[in-house]
Amino acid sequence: MSSGELSVRRGQAADLDAIVDLERGCATAPHWAASVYAGIVERDVASRRCLFVAEKDGGVVGFAVGAMQADGVGELESVVVADAARRAGIGRVLCGAVIDWCLSQDATEIALEVRAGSAGAIALYQGLRFVEVGRRAGYYSEPEEDALLMRLKLQ
């Protein structure tokens, strides 16, 4: 990763190919249909989801998806950072964008699920003050793995 400036912005239709390529290149990312991402970037008024992309040197190096549930709980649905761009704070910045968006939607807390073996992701979320509140046995497949349930209480 070079020393160019990082920018984070809302995802656009022009980003979809890069988002899908990045997601497909990450074995532990949730693999959604391209149409799901397209629906999020269209920002339908009825949709309560957001997608942020991180760009560096003119290319997408990461993205994050958030959602609002009917009960006022936000959800950090997905965070993906390119292998070559990891450990540079990009995941933290993307999570911050989703957290800020959830706050703007009047969320009272934010929930997420993470693979139990994803030590780096768990450390990131703990650094953002998420706490473990439960576990779902065998939740993930390919490879099969438990999910840790984490929450962040908002003020």
Give residue-wise pLDDT tens across range 38-71. Answer: 888 887 545 689 999 999 988 999 999 999 998 9
**pLDDT the model gives residue 149:** 97
In the numeric block, which tokens belong to residue 29? 């990312």
pTM, two decimals, is 0.90
Find the range with the poorest average confidence among 1-5, 10-14, 49-53.
Answer: 1-5
Arithmetic mean of pLDDT, 131-138: 96
- Judge whether 60 and 26 are in contact, CB under 8 Å: no
**pLDDT the model gives residue 45:** 47
What's the per-residue H, E or C state across the chain? Answer: CCCCCEEEEECCHHHHHHHHHHHHCCCCCCCCCHHHHHHHHCCCCCCCEEEEEEEECCEEEEEEEEEECCCCEEEEEEEEECHHHCCCCHHHHHHHHHHHHHHHCCCCEEEEEEECCCHHHHHHHHHCCCEEEEEEEEEECCCCEEEEEEEEECC
Find the range with the poorest average confidence among 32-46, 70-84, 91-105.
Answer: 32-46
In this structure, which CATH number among 3.30.70.20, 3.40.630.30, 3.20.20.450, 3.40.50.11540 belongs to the domain 6-153?
3.40.630.30
Residue 125 confidence (pLDDT) above 80:
yes
